[in-house]
Amino acid sequence: MLIRTPLVLLASIAVAILWGCNSNSQGTLPEADFFVSDGQGFTLRVGETAGIQTVSAINIIRFSGVLDDSRCPENVQCAVAGFATVLLSVQSALAITEIQLQVPPGGTAQMVVEELTIDVIALNPAAEAGIEINLLDYAVALRVRQTSDLGIT
């Protein structure tokens, strides 16, 4: 009788572990405010996230904000065009990567993170003379494309 009790306990623990592993592997999507297709353009406001499904995984992009903005205002003659530094967080199958992109006025920027190419299409609002932009008013227009394969199946 004493031999069966440890075996029953051991079997119960094994079943609990297997059941727990099985319940976590049922393919739930990572949390995002919305999901887009590979190569589709979309806009994120500060704090928003988008999920991009590639062949290898679902990647999450978060717009964390603008670190600084020295873009030359529209309709103003500037000696230097300046730029805004956009902070994005990219969660891929392998890691979470914080990236900073320098976006010129009316310009675009591009960065490769693992299997993804991230294009900044626009940063809004545009700089205006004499108007300070509230940090929560920024929105970044992006296009994210899978440009390589990590080989994860």
What secondary structure does DSSP assign to the chain, as a single string? -TTHHHHHHHHHHHHHHHHHHHHHTS-PPPP-SEEE-TT-EEEEETT-EEEEE-SS-EEEEEEEEEEEE-PPPTT---SS---EEEEEEEE-SS-EEEEEEEE-TT--EEEEETTEEEEEEEEESPPBTTBPPPGGG-EEEEEEEE-S-----
**Structural domain contains residue 22:** no
pLDDT of residue 67: 94
Task: Indicate if the pLDDT at residue 32 is higher than 50.
Answer: yes
pTM: 0.73
Q: How many CB atoms lie within 10 A of CB 74?
A: 12
**Structural domain contains residue 117:** yes
For 84-136, the pLDDT digits (tens) are 999 999 998 778 899 999 998 877 899 998 888 999 999 999 888 888 899 99
Task: Indicate if the pLDDT at residue 4 is higher than 70.
Answer: no
**Structural domain contains residue 127:** yes
Q: Which domain holds residue 44?
A: 34-146
**Structural domain contains residue 125:** yes
For 36-74, the pLDDT digits (tens) are 988 999 999 999 999 998 877 889 999 999 999 999 888
pLDDT of residue 5: 52
CATH code: domain of residue 127: 2.60.98
pLDDT of residue 149: 63
**Structural domain contains residue 99:** yes
